[in-house]
Amino acid sequence: MSTNVIMPQMGESVAEGTITKWLRKVGEPIGRDEPLFEISTDKVDAEIPSPAAGILSQILVKENETVAVNTVVAVIDGEGAATGAPAQQVEAKVSTPPEVPEAAEPPTPAAAEGGEIEAEGGSAAPESEEVRSSPLVRRIAREYQVDLTQVRGTGSGGRISKKDILDYVEQRQSAAASRTGAAQPPSAPAASISPPAASLPSPTPAPVQPAPAPPAFTGPAQVVQMTPMRRQIAEHMVGSKRTSAHVYTVFEVEMSKVVETRERQRDEFERRNGFKLTYTPFFVRAAVEAIRDIPVINSSVDAMNIIYKRDVNVGIAVALEAGLIVPVIKRADEKNFLGIARAVQDLAERARTKRLSVDDVQGGTFTITNPGSFGGLFGLPIINQPQVAILGVGAIEKRPVVRDDAIAIRSMAYLSLSYDHRVIDGAVAEKFLSRIKQILENWSEPVL
Partner 1 sequence: MPVLTYVEAIRQGIWEEMERDPSVFLLGEDVGVLGGAFKVTDGMLEKFGAERVIDTPISESAIVGAAVGAALMGMRPVAEMQFMDFIACGFDQIVNMAAKMHYRWGPALPIVIRGPSGAGVHGGPYHSQSNEMWFVHTPGLKVIMPATAYDAKGLIKSAIRDDNPVIFYEHKFLYRRIKEEVPEGDYVVPLGKAAVRREGKDVAIITYGAMVWTALEAAGELEKEGISLEVVDLRTLLPYDEEAVLGSVRKCNKVILLHEGTRTGGMAGELAALIAERAFEDLDGPIVRITGLDTPVPFSPPLEEYFLPNARKVIEAARKLARY
Partner 2 sequence: MRSSKTARSSKPRNAPEPATLERMLHYLKLTREAEARIEQVLYRQGKIVGGVYVGRGQEAIGVGSALQLIAGDVVLPSHRDFSSFLIRGFSLADIFANWMGRADTPTRGRDNTLHIGNMKLGIIPIISPLGGTCPVACGVAMVLKWRAQGNVALVHLGEGTTSVGQVHEAMNMAGVMKLPVIFIVNNNGYAFSTPVEKQFPIKNLSRRGPAYGMPGKAIDGNDVRVVYRAVGEAIAWARRGEGPSFLECKTFRMTGHSAHDGAEYVPARLLQSWAKKDPIQRLEKHLLSKRIMTRQGIADLDRRIQKEVDAAVADAEARPLPQGESALEGVYCGPDCWWKGRSQKSEVRSQKQGARSKNTADDSII
- Check binding of 153 to partner 1 (CB under 8 A): no
Which residue lies nearer to partner 2 by CB, 65 or 129? Answer: 65
Say whether 246 is catalytic.
no
Least distance (Å) between residue 84 CB and partner 2: 10
| Among residues 29, 31, 115, 135, the one that binds partner 1 under rule CB under 8 A | 135
Q: Pick what 109 binds: partner 2, partner 1, none; C-beta below 5 to 8 Å, kind-dependent.
A: partner 1
State yes or no: residue 211 binds partner 1 (CB under 8 A).
Answer: no
Residue 200 near partner 1 by CB under 8 A: yes
Q: State the binding string over 93-132 for partner 1 (x if CB under 8 A, else -).
A: --------------x-xx----------------------
Q: Which does 62 bind (CB under 5 to 8 A by kind): partner 2, partner 1, none?
A: none
Residue 155 lies near partner 1 (rule: CB under 8 A): yes
Q: Is 421 a catalytic residue?
A: yes
Q: Which does 201 bind (CB under 5 to 8 A by kind): partner 2, partner 1, none?
A: partner 1
Strand partners, 17: 67
Residues contacting partner 1: total by CB under 8 A = 19
For partner 2, which is the closer residue by CB, 95 or 265?
95
- Binding residues for partner 2, rule: CB under 8 A, are 6, 8-12, 14, 33, 41, 43-51, 70, 83, 86-87, 89-91, 93-95
At its nearest, how many Å lie between partner 1 and the CB of residue 120?
14
Q: Which of 138, 285, 330, 335 binds partner 1 (CB under 8 A)?
A: 138
Partner interacting with residue 156 (select from partner 2, partner 1, none; CB below 5-8 Å by kind): partner 1
Active centre residues (catalytic): 421, 425
Which stretches of the chain bind partner 1, using CB under 8 A?
107, 109-110, 134-139, 155-156, 159, 161-162, 195-196, 199-201
